[in-house]
Structure 1
Amino acid sequence: MPRPSQSVSSVAVSRGTARPNTRDIPEETAVALSYNGTTQAVMMATPADLQEFAIGFSLGEGIVTHPDQIERLEIEELDAGIDCQMWLSDEAADRLGERRRQMAGPVGCGLCGIDSLEQAMRPLPQLPPDNVCTGSARLLHAMHMLRKGQKLHDLTRGVHGAGFLHADDTVTVKEDVGRHNALDKLIGSLALQGIDPASGVILLTSRVSVELVQKTVLAGAPILIAVSAPTAHAVRLAEDAGLTLIALARDERFEIFTHPHRITPQEAHNVA
């Protein structure tokens, strides 16, 4: 299996001086997601945590509603890339047959290959209004822990991170060259551990696009906090779905864009 990073030669130029250099950079591999012998999607991804990636993608796309509906999962390395081969229960196979589509997802693209506008703007469930409440100090500490947990980013400076803040204040971190892939890996990891995303907070190192909101809401997490800005459409989607969307989380401040009731008022006031 390819390593998640590779060491390559470069020439470092600084203040008019050039010198030979060696740098670790992230690997990027074509990863096929196949169900019952047929490829459903091919994504460019970091070749690590692929079991979690396959399960998280399957949950996020609605192909399965529980990991147990994947009866067998095998990961095979091929000349052209890696094939994550999954065999589904009859219920999940019937569901997939009703909504089969082909996707090709280069890095940074979340909706490539969807064959209709209706699929891109799929309706989202409503999140319960008061299932999680937290404060700004805890969220800012969690973002610090997310950054601390990014070992591949520290090595390569070239990957995104997705994290989950647990009730005990620990943070699970997954990384990938694609921000959507990192979130899929995180959701798959939580599913394998039997952890309900509704019990905590999703943390992201990227900007917040529509599909990241979709994946968070479909997972059932009530709060999403990210380092960079959201798109306007992502804010509208979060508002409609009842998701607390927090962004621009840097240093000691952040901005709450939707449903601020889940952030304790006195602490929310401190970061305004």
Structure 2
Amino acid sequence: MPFVAPTVVRRVVQNVTTETPDLLAVEEPLEIRLGYGPAQDRQQRSLVVTMRTPGVDAELATGFLYAENIIQQPADVLSCRHCVQDAEKEGNVIRVELRPGLAVDWQRLERITVSSASCGLCGKTTIEAAMAHTNGPLMADFSVDSAIVHNLPDRVRQLQTAFAHTGGIHAAALFDADGTIRLVREDIGRHNALDKLIGAAFWKGWLPLSDCGIFLSGRIGVELVQKSWRAGVPLLAAVGAPSSLAVQMAREARMTLVGFVRDDRFNIYTEPDRLITQASAPATPPAAHGH
């Protein structure tokens, strides 16, 4: 299934209208089903439906399951493949077979089961619920030079294949302390792009990601902090702004949170010591006004 779809648009420049071909980012539902239970009595159950851009669906599914604390390691997954018998859904159903003996707490997973491309937590409203899936505050000895962070938007944009075609898709990128970009994943949904990135790291055996930072192309909602915390990421940076709850959760996680990374500037919201910057200039006192 392609990640772009052709269309024709009427482009208006001043008072001149022309028809021209264009490309759109594809948005399709993906249903994630779990196969679970003992070998002699396997069960199947639908877990979630998310709106995503097709491609690397196995990474998306496993990244989501890891963030939800359902799986811990690749050995927990027997297989992950599209349901070919569900031909009507055209590759939009993926089934993850869990190893026998892996317990699934369905009561905890009871939640809104259809999420949009802008929703990740989908029903979880407290930091306490998200904290239950993590290993506590992040103590990683990770730091990065501010010049590397300044360069991330341009460097990641050069690697965004789908964005180059459509201009309407998000990216999540994994980078190390030297500024090497190790992975980039794209999706119409911000949380899906991050799930794909974490899923790819999951299969490579890189988790927890204590020696890396993650860069996001959009704003930072609390669900993105939660997923990054679960993956052990000590630094999360983004082009956009964080929400108040995202900052609160990052503070609890002892994660460095950086927003508005663009135009040679950024804001550090939490744990600033992981950013190597020049000494701060003293604040300029307000000018005195004569009477």
Partner of 2:27: 28
CA contact (8 A) 2:142 2:177 kept: no
Partner of 2:184: 173
The answer as to 2:26 corresponding to 1:15 is no
Partner of 1:73: 80
Q: 228-237 vs 140-149, which deviates more?
A: 140-149
Q: 1:1-272 to 2 correspondence within 5 Å?
A: 2-36=1-35, 37-76=44-83, 78-81=87-90, 82-92=92-102, 94-102=103-111, 103-112=113-122, 114=123, 117=125, 121-123=129-131, 124-167=134-177, 169-171=179-181, 172-196=183-207, 197-266=209-278, 269=280
- Structure 1 regions of 5+ residues with no counterpart? none
- What is the root-mean-square deviation in Å for CA atoms of aligned residues? 2.1
Partner of 2:289: none
Equivalents in 2 of 1:160, 1:120: separation in Å?
A: 28
Distance 1:84 1:119, change over 3 A: farther
> 1:168 Cα shift?
5.0
Equivalents in 1 of 2:127, 2:196: separation in Å?
A: 22
Q: 180-189 vs 97-106, which deviates more?
A: 97-106
> Aligned AA for 1:28?
E
Distance 1:138 1:34, change over 3 A: same
Equivalents in 1 of 2:48, 2:140: separation in Å?
A: 36
TM-score (normalizing by structure 1): 0.91
Equivalents in 2 of 1:85, 1:147: separation in Å?
A: 32
Greater per-residue helix proportion? 1
Distance 1:89 1:118, change over 3 A: farther
Q: Which secondary structure state, in structure 1, belongs to the residue aligned with residue 210 of structure 2?
A: helix
CA contact (8 A) 1:56 1:189 kept: yes
> 1:21 Cα shift?
1.1
CA deviations 1:53-94 (Å, max 9, x no partner) are 1110110111111122011111236423511101112343x1
TM-score (normalizing by structure 2): 0.85
CA contact (8 A) 2:144 2:177 kept: no
Q: 130-139 vs 246-255, which deviates more?
A: 130-139
> 1:169 Cα shift?
3.0
Distance 1:41 1:222, change over 3 A: same
Q: 81-90 vs 226-235, which deviates more?
A: 81-90
Equivalents in 1 of 2:128, 2:12: separation in Å?
A: 44
CA deviations 1:92-130 (Å, max 9, x no partner) are 3x1344523242111112233x3x645984225433334
CA contact (8 A) 1:30 1:80 kept: no
Equivalents in 2 of 1:126, 1:119: separation in Å?
A: 12
Q: Which secondary structure state, in structure 1, belongs to the residue aligned with residue 225 of structure 2?
A: helix
Distance 1:119 1:252, change over 3 A: closer
